[in-house]
Amino acid sequence: MKIPSPVSNGIPNADHAAVELVALTKNYGSDKPAVDGINLRIASGSYCCLLGPSGCGKSTTLRMIAGHESVTSGDVLLEDRNITDLPAAARGTAMMFQSFALFPHLSALDNVAFSLKMKGVDKAARHKQAGDLLERVAMGHLSLRKPAELSGGQQQRVALARALITQPKVLLLDEPLSALDPFLRIQMRAELRRWQKELGLTFVHVTHSQEEAMALADTMVVMNHGVIEQMGSPHEIYNHPVSEFVARFMGGHNVLDTPAGKISVRTDHVQLAPDTPGFPDGAGNKRAVISDIEYQGTYVLVGLQYPGKTLSANATAEVSVMVPESQFDRQPYQLGQSVQLTWLPEASHALVH
Ligand code: ADP
Ligand code: MG
């Protein structure tokens, strides 16, 4: 499919890769590489999230793109230029760190101008550039404040301006929101998303939070043990997880054993009904016993176990069903109650492993 090309309107350009990783590998010396031959094209102007559990190789991948970590084998390309062996400052990438990492004793303006000062740019010129960038992120009026005199959102914008002063083509962010309290985290992620679209830049953002990745990403790259398990839009991945790992990591999915292999069914795609005699037990129909009821506000999460006789391989087979609160209130269930589970054939997806 061809996507229209302008980057400035916020539509990622799929034909044009901002970053391309070719068989990229990092081995720190143990028998198992931290990053194991990954291939990835990140569309120009897109918001890409590298997602996966702690230790899966996200930061190592990002640091190899940034030039903060040497590459064992493979290549990193930026706009078709091979940058694998270039120093960090010559790559056209910039990094934004956790909690913004601003210098507390410097004004917003001097924080943004800092890297130009290191390059020997004279004061008037660097203040002009830094001031222009602060204007661009709507912080011009606060440019003389120190970080402690700015809100979290304002600090993030200063950090963004500081990263942008090197005129990067790609902004790299390693868990930028994970040290913030939950309320601020949600505000800041909406801001990040908005600035990425306004600036039309490519963002590569590392996170272990599937919720954060789904909220932000055009493209999500789910990693596990140094390899890419699946990549696609949040919608594609949430609706069609390819593997048991992705289904379980994303949450909201049941992984079920069937004679034909493992399948996934979303917890909100399973219907519950009180048990009736003669209910057929087969594909898409299961009898189960309620083992858990959790109130979650807009829905009630009902945990179930299969009665012993229908268990296939393991005795702990479990299913979760998300029942909308209004439906649960009309038809409440009790712990220990025997119920029927049904789902439509199109709600179940075969898992490859
Ligand atoms: P993530 O960011 O996904 O949590 P990392 O990329 O930091 O994962 O780490 C991937 C693997 O590489 C882990 O097993 C980690 O222990 C190992 N690792 C990371 N950095 C180093 C290092 N500097 N030296 C040795 N091993 C490292
Ligand atoms: Mg990390």
Locate the ligand 1 atom nearest the alpha carbon of residue 58 and give its number. Answer: 3
| Contact yes or no for 213/232 (Cβ under 8 A) | no
Report the pLDDT value the prediction gives residue 15, as an integer from 0 to 100. 65
Nearest CA to ligand 1 atom 15: 55
At 98, phi and psi to the nearest 5? -55, 140
Mind listing the domains of the chain with CATH numbers?
7-239 (3.40.50.300), 255-350 (2.40.50.100)
pLDDT digits (tens, 9 = 90+) for 281-295: 777 888 899 999 999
List 339's β-bridge partners, or say none. Answer: 274, 288
- Indicate whether 306 pLDDT > 70: yes
Report the pLDDT value the prediction gives residue 248, as an integer from 0 to 100. 95
The amino acid sitting at 98 is Q
CA atoms within 13 A on the CB side of 318: 10
Confidence of residue 309 (pLDDT cuts 50, 70, 90): very low
Q: Which residues crowd ion ligand 2, with CB under 5 Å?
A: 59
Report the pLDDT value the prediction gives residue 12, as an integer from 0 to 100. 57
206 or 31, higher pLDDT: 206
**Length of the chain measured in residues:** 353
- Gap from CA of 60 to ligand 2 centroid (Å): 7
What Å distances lie between residue 81 and 10, 133, 248, CA to CA? 23, 27, 37
Report the pLDDT value the prediction gives residue 308, as an integer from 0 to 100. 62
Average of per-residue pLDDT across 86-102: 88
pLDDT cut 70: percent of the chain above it: 93
- Gap from CA of 282 to ligand 2 centroid (Å): 43
Average of per-residue pLDDT across 174-195: 89
Nearest CA to ligand 1 atom 22: 28
